[in-house]
Structure 1
Amino acid sequence: MKRHIALSALAISGTALLAACGSDSSPSKDPVPPPTLSCDDSIKEHFKPDELTTVVQVKSFKAGEPLTLGQADGRTPNAENDVCLVKLNVGPGNPGPEDAPSTSAGIGIEVWLPTKPEQWNGRLRAIGGGGWAGGPHGSTEAIGDASAGATAALAGEVTATTDTGHSILGSGSFAMLPDGTINTVLWKDFAERAIHQTAVKSKALAEAYYGKMPEYAYWTGASTGGRQGLKFAQVNPEDFDGILAGYPAINWSKFITTELYPQIVVQRDLGGNHLSNEQLDAASNAAIAACDLVGGEHLGYISDPASCTYDPTQDLDLLCTTDGGNNGGSACLTTAQALAVNKFWYGQTADGSVPAPDADNGMSDTLATNHKWYGLTRGSTLTALAGEQPFPIAVDQVTLELQDPTYASPSFKNATGDGQDKWKTLSYAQLADAWDRGVQLQSEFANINTDNPDLSVFRDAGGKMITYYGLADQLIPPQGTLHYYRRVTEQMGGLAATQEFYRLYFVPGMGHGLYNGTSNPLANPPLPTMDQLYKLLTDWVEQGTAPAERVDISTQATDMFPEIKSRPICLHPLKAKFVGGDPKIASSYECAAS
C-alpha cells in the first residue's frame, strides 16, 4: 500500500543501510533487501530505526506458554502459536524528579509478532488503550497487554500497543508538572505522538523481522482507543488503511468534565446525600419500562432513547408517599431526587437547570443554550457516574483544567500537594468554568478533544473507518459522537459522500463495551462481536465491500440466557423499524429513516 512505502527505510539498521547503498554511499543498482531478524536479543543490535528508539526487551513464547513475564494466574492467556514480544522505548520522554508522576523515560511500545514468518497473514493490527492508558510497556518487569499477544498468536497478525508515554495506571497525575502547571510534553505523547510512533515503529519492526512491510494496517480500539482512532484519521491519516473506533472518547474535556456533573448535582441539590444504587436502578428501570415496548412486548432495554421522554418527577409509582407518590419502599425517590435524575440524563448546564423531558430530553445532535454537554441516555445504569464515588477520570480532568491538585481525590499525587477532594465545593458556575477552561486549553492539551471534522486527507488516502456505539453507554453519552458525525457530514460534502469512507452504527442496550449497559440485569440485548465488527472493516478495506445498511446481531446462548435473540443495527441515520412478528427476532425489523 502506498501509505507504507516511505516507512521501509526505518526497519534497516545503520550497518544494513550502508551495505544496501554501497560503502561509498552511492545508490546501488541492486539494493540488498532488508535483513530479517530472529526472536532473540540480536534485535536489540539490529533494529535501530532512529536515535530515539531503544529495544528494551525481546521474549519468545512457545505455543501453550502463558503470556506473562511473571507468575501466571487464572486471567493470563496462553499462546495458541509461537509468538515474539519486542518491547520498545521511544524518547525523549520528560525529565524531572525520579518519583514525580510527570517524569517519563519515553513512550513504551509492545509489538507482538508471529514467530514463524509462514504464520503471519500480512496484517498489522495496532490496538488502542483505555482511560488514561499507562502501563509497563517500556518495562522488563511486566507485560502491558497480554491480550494483544494472544491475538497475534491466534490470528497470525502483528499486533502493537502503547502506554502512551507514561507508566501511571488509573490517574491523570502524569499530566501535571510538579509545580501544578500543565505537562504539555506528556499531554502530547498521550494525545497523539505515542500512537503515531506505535504505527511507525511496529511497521518498521515487521519489515525488519519478515523482510517485507505489512500488506494492510488496521487500528482497533474503543473508548480512549476509539478516540485514538479518530486522532489518526484527523492528524496522521496515512498511518492505517482501516480504523475501527468503538464508542470513541472524543470531545474529551467536554464529556469528561460533564461526567463530574452528577456528583455536583448531589452536592448542591441533595446536600451530598447520594441516591442508593437501588434508587438509581429503580429510576432507570422505570424509564426502560416506559420506553421499551415493541410489538406489544417489553424488550427490557430501550431501542431508541431519542424517543424516550420519561420523567421521574411525574411518576407516582416511583415517587415516595411522603412526596405525594404511591411508593413506600426503600427505592422510592423524593421529588428533589427525581429532579436530580432528570439532570443526570440531560447533562451539564451552566447553572444546574434542566428542561422538562417532553420539551428537551437531551438527545439532540445540537446543544441548546446553557447546555454545556450531554448526559446519559435513559435506561443506562447510573451507578458509575452518580454513585457514591465520583468517576476518577472526571475528577482528574477537572483538576487539570483548574491546575490545582487539591481538587482531586487523595490518590492524585503532586509536589504542590496531593488531592483533597476539593471538587465537592464546586458550584454549578465553577464547574462550567472548568468546562470552558478545558476548551480554552486545547492547545496545551494537544487537542485532546479530537473533534476536527475535516477527514479529507484520510478519505483521499483511501482510508476506511467504522464507529460503533452503545445506546446504553454508562460512561460516554453517545450524543457526543452523533454531534461529531453531523459536523463531519457537513464538512465532507453530505451524508452519502461521508459514508463512502466513514460509517456509523448505534447498538441499543449496549454499554461501554460489548455487554449489557442497562440497569436491567435481565435485558440481555443482542450485541455484535469483535470478530464481526473487525470483519466488516477488513472486508471493506481488502475486498471493497462496504458495510451494509443492515447488520444483524444476536445474543449468545448461556445457561442464564438460553434463548437466542437477534435484531439489526442500522447504518446511521437509519433506525430499526418493527414491521411485525416476534420483536425478539431480526426478521421482524427493517432499517428505515426515522
Structure 2
Amino acid sequence: MRYIKNLLTVFFGIALLSSCSASKPSITANANNACSNLLAFSSSENAVVIKSASLVPAGPVPAVPYQPPYAGTLASYCRVDGVIDERIGEGGKPYAIGFAIALPEKWNGRFMMQGGGGLNGSVATPLGSNAAGDMTALQRGFAVVTTDTGHQGTHGFDSSFFSDQEATLNFLYQAIGKVAITSKHIVAQYYGKAIEHSYYMGCSTGGREAMIMSQRYPRLFDGIVAGAPAMRTSFSNLADKWVMTSLATVAPKDEQGHPLVAQALTEQDKTIVMNGLLKQCDAMDGVADNMISNVVGCNFDPMSLACSATKKQACISPEKAKAIKVGFAGPKNSLGVQVYPGFWFDTGITETQGIPGLLNPGFHPIVGKITSTEMNVDQEAMAASTPSAFVGDSAYWTLLNTFSNNGGKLIFYHGVSDPWFSAQETARYYDQLVKDNGGAEKVYQWSRLFLVPGMGHCGGGAAALDHLDMIAPIVNWVEQNQAPEQIQVTGQAFPNRSRPLCPYPSYAHYSGAGDSEKAENFTCKYPGS
C-alpha cells in the first residue's frame, strides 16, 4: 500500500513538474507578446513613437552612478523606450522627448516617475533608485518611467538646447507632464487595468521637477518626494559665487593676480573651524556625536574663532573669520535685502569627497573660476532675474490647495551641508508654503520637510547618515494615511548608528537614556523647547 502511495506521489509530482515546465515558456511567451505589442501604442494626446519594447530577463540591479550597489535582483520586466514630439529644431538639430518605462512582471499597481539631474539630456535607467533605501521602486514592483525632458546632451550640464524654444519649455515643465500622461496610458494598456497610485520622486533637478508636479500638474500624482530641489538655480549659483568671492578676499593669488580660492583656508584653518563649530553646537541635541541635529538652533559665529591679543591658540585670522561669516550669511543687495538665503554651518562644510563642501571651494560647473575679490550683488541679482538666466527658476509657486484638496502628499528632504542649493532655501519655501495654505497645522496634514544633518547634495557626507528610504513613508502616507512622524536613517559614516529624521523645524534629541547610537532613544524636539 505504501509503495502504491509513494508511486502515486512520484507520478503526480512528475506530472505537476511537467505541467509547470510546460507552462513556463507559455507565460514567458505571453509576457513577451504583451511587451512587443506596445510597439503599436499610439496616443491621441501626444505624437508618440515606441522605438523598442522587449523583456529584460531577471538579473542583478544595474549600477547607479554615485550610489552604492543595490543588493538582491530584479525580476524580469518589460522595457519600453519611446519618444514624444520628434522634430527638427533650431539649427537643424533633431529633438524629441525621450522616455523609458520599466513594467515589472509582478506589478504592485503603483506608478513612479523618476526625476532627472543637472540639465538632464539623457534617459536614465528606470529603477526608482533615488532615496530608495535598500530596494529600488522597480524591485518593489512599481512601474517606473524616466525621461531626458526633451533633448540629448553631451554631458550633464550641456546647455546648448537653450537656443531652442520648445526644448527649453520642455526642460522647464512641459516634458514631465507629457511623459507622465503618456506613460500612464502605456502602463494601463500593458496590465489591462488602471494604476492605483502614482508617485514622483527626484533630487536636485529631479527635486525641482517634483515641485513642478505639485504646482503645475496637481492632479497627476498622489505622492511626491522632492529632494534638494534646484528651485531657483540662477540665484543659487549667485549664492555659490558669493561664498567663493568672499573666500577669495583671503586667498593667495596666481601669476595673473587671480585668487586661488581653493587655497583660501589651510587644513589647519578648517580643522579649527570644525572643532569650534562642534564645540558650540554638537551637544545641543543632547549628545556629542559629531553630528549637529539642532541646526536651526545653532547660531555659530566664526568671529568667535578670530585670533586676538588674548586669543592666540586654536584661532584663525580675523580676516578669514570674517570671510567665512560673510560668505555663509548669503548675498544681500545694496538695500540690505537678502536675495538668496545663507547656508547653515554643518559638519559637511569641509567635505572633500564628491561635491566638496563650501570651505573647500573649487571649480563650479556653472559659476566657473573666480577671478575677482569683488561682486556687485545688485548687478548679479538683476542678471539672475532676466528670462535667459531664469531657466529652471520656475518652481517657487506656493499656493497648492488644488494638490492638497485632491489628497496629494508632499515630502521634502534636504542635506543641511548641501553646497549647491542651500537647505535654508528649502526651509524658506516650506515656511511660505505654510503661510499660503492655511497655516502649519493644516499644511502639516499633507506636507513635511526633513533636514538631513551632515548630508551634501542629494547624498554623501563624512559625518552623515544618508541611507534614506523615502519610498515607504510617502506610500504609507498616501495609502494608509500614516503621516511620517519620524524617518529612520543609517549610513556608512557611522555603521552602527541610526537616527530619526524629524519634521522641520523639530530635530532629533537624545532622551538621555539608552544607547545613543540607536534611533529609538531619540525624540523629536523643537528648538528652544
Indicate whether the TM-score tops 0.5: yes
1:42-97 deviation per Cα after TM superposition (whole angstroms, max 9, x unaligned): 422334455522112223211127759xxxxx979995211121111112556133
Say whether residues 1:290 and 2:257 are aligned partners.
Answer: no
Q: Aligned-pair distance for 1:252?
A: 2.9
Alpha-carbon shift at residue 343 of structure 1 (Å): 2.4
Q: Which runs of 5+ in 1 are unaligned?
A: 1-34, 69-73, 138-143, 178-182, 352-367, 396-408, 410-420
Between the aligned partners of 1:145 and 1:237, the Cα distance in structure 2 is: 26
Report the Cα distance in structure 2 between the residues aligned to 1:287 and 1:462, rounded to whole angstroms.
42
Amino acid at match of 1:373: Y
Question: Does residue 204 of structure 1 match 2:185?
Answer: yes
1:503 corresponds to which residue? 448
- Say if 1:152 and 1:159, in contact at 8 Å, map to a contact too: yes
Q: 1:373 aligns with which of 323, 330, 340?
A: 340
**Is the 1:37–1:43 Cα contact (8 Å) retained in structure 2?**
no
Whole-Å separation in 1 of the counterparts to 2:359 and 2:221: 38
1:235 and 2:216 matched:
yes
Q: Given the alignment of the two structures, is residue 145 of structure 1 paired with residue 125 of structure 2, yes or no?
A: yes
Shift of 1:260: 2.0
Tell me how far apart the structure 1 counterparts of residues 101 and 283 of structure 2 sit (CA, whole Å): 48
The structure-2 alpha-carbon separation of the partners of 1:91 and 1:375, relative to structure 1 and needing over 3 Å to count, comes to same
SS at match of 2:74: coil
Say whether 1:86 aligns with 2:46. Answer: no
* Shift of residue 569, structure 1, vs aligned partner: 2.6
**Quick one: structure 1 residues 508 and 440, their matched pair in 2 at CA, closer, same or farther if it must change by over 3 Å?**
same
Equivalent in 143, 156, 168 of residue 158 of structure 1: 143
Structure 1 residue corresponding to 2:478, chosen from 536, 541, 545: 541
Aligned position for 1:348: 331
Distance in structure 1 (CA, Å) of the matches to 2:128 and 2:507? 34
Q: Using the alignment, how far apart are the partners of 1:55 and 1:307 within structure 2?
A: 53
Letter in 1 for 2:147: T
**1:253 corresponds to:** 234
1:428 and 2:423 aligned: no
Q: Which moved more, 1:449-458 or 1:336-345?
A: 336-345
Corresponding residue number in structure 2 for 1:478: 423
TM superposition shift of 1:153: 4.6
Amino acid at match of 1:486: D
Task: Write the letter of the residue equivalent to 2:79.
Answer: L
Partner of 2:152: 167
Unaligned runs of 5+ in 2: 1-29, 130-134, 254-258, 351-355
Deviations 1:152-211 (A, max 9, x none): 65222110111122222222423542xxxxx54333211211111221111011012111
Partner of 1:10: none
Letter in 2 for 1:470: G
SS at 1:292 equivalent: helix
CA RMSD of aligned residues (A): 3.4
**C-alpha distance in 2, partners of 1:534/1:544?**
14
Q: 1:85 to 1:491 in 2, by over 3 A?
A: same
Q: Percent identity?
A: 25
Say yes or no: does 1:573 pair with 2:526. no
CA separation of 1:55/1:460 partners in 2, compared to 1, >3 Å: closer, same or farther?
Answer: same
3-state SS in 2 of match to 1:238: coil
Partners in 1 of 2:294 and 2:70 — Cα distance? 38
Q: Is the 8 A contact 2:103 2:187 kept in 1?
A: yes
Which one of the candidate residues 48, 52, 57 is aligned to 2:52? 57
2:5 is matched with which residue? none
Matches of 1:172 and 1:36, distance apart in 2:
38
Equivalent residue number for residue 23 of structure 2: none
Structure 1 position 392 matched with structure 2 position 325:
no
2:436 and 2:87 map into 1 onto residues whose CA distance is 36
The partner residue of 2:101 within 90, 104, 111 is 111
Q: Secondary structure at the match of 1:348?
A: coil
Are residues 1:591 and 2:528 paired?
Answer: no
- Whether contact under 8 Å (1:295, 1:580) holds in the other structure is no
Quote the offset at 1:375 in angstroms: 2.9
Question: Cα distance, 1:238 vs. partner?
Answer: 0.8
Cα gap change, 1:175/1:77 in structure 2, threshold over 3 Å: closer, same or farther? farther
**C-alpha separation between the residues in 1 aligned to 2:120 and 2:127?**
15
Q: Give a deviation string over 1:445-499, Cα, whole Å, max 9, x none.
A: 4663411110011012221111122223233211111111111111111111111
The reply on whether 1:125 has 2:112 as its aligned counterpart is yes
**Aligned ranges for residues 448-459 of structure 1 at < 5 Å?**
448-459=393-404
Give the drift of 1:585: 4.1
1:91 alignment partner, SS class: strand
Whether contact under 8 Å (1:65, 1:78) holds in the other structure is: yes
What TM-score, normalized to structure 1?
0.71
Check 1:276–1:132 CA distance in 2 against 1; reply closer, same or farther (3 A cut).
farther
Q: Secondary structure at the match of 2:175?
A: helix
Q: Which of 314, 323, 338 is the equivalent residue of 2:304? A: 314
TM-score, scaled to structure 2: 0.79
**How far does the alpha carbon of each residue in 1:316-366 deviate from its partner, in whole angstroms, 9 at most, with x for none?**
5xx599x97335xxxx74332222211232112336xxxxxxxxxxxxxxx
Whether contact under 8 Å (1:253, 1:449) holds in the other structure is no
Amino acid at match of 1:128: G
Helix, strand or coil at the partner of 2:33:
coil
How far off is 1:287 after superposition?
A: 1.6
Cα gap change, 1:340/1:93 in structure 2, threshold over 3 Å: closer, same or farther? farther
Q: Does 1:325 align with 2:257?
A: no
Aligned residue in 2 for 1:365:
none
> In structure 2, do the counterparts of structure 1 residues 250 and 93 end up closer, same or farther at CA, with 3 Å as the change threshold?
farther
Q: Which AA in structure 1 matches 2:119?
A: W
CA contact (8 A) 2:201 2:226 kept: yes
> Taking structure 1 as reference, are residues 196 and 281 closer, same or farther at Cα in structure 2, changes over 3 Å only?
farther
User: Any residues of structure 2 matched to 1:60-71 within 5 Å, and which?
Assistant: 60-64=55-59
Conservation of the 8 A alpha-carbon contact between 1:62 and 1:79: no
Q: C-alpha distance in 2, partners of 1:78/1:167? A: 32
The secondary structure found in structure 2 opposite 1:234 is: helix
- Measured in 1, the distance between the counterparts of 2:250 and 2:224 equals 43
Q: Deviation of residue 250 (structure 1)?
A: 1.8
User: What amino acid maps onto 2:338 in structure 1?
Assistant: H
Relative to structure 1, is the Cα distance of residues 45 and 76 closer, same or farther in structure 2, using a 3 angstrom cutoff? farther
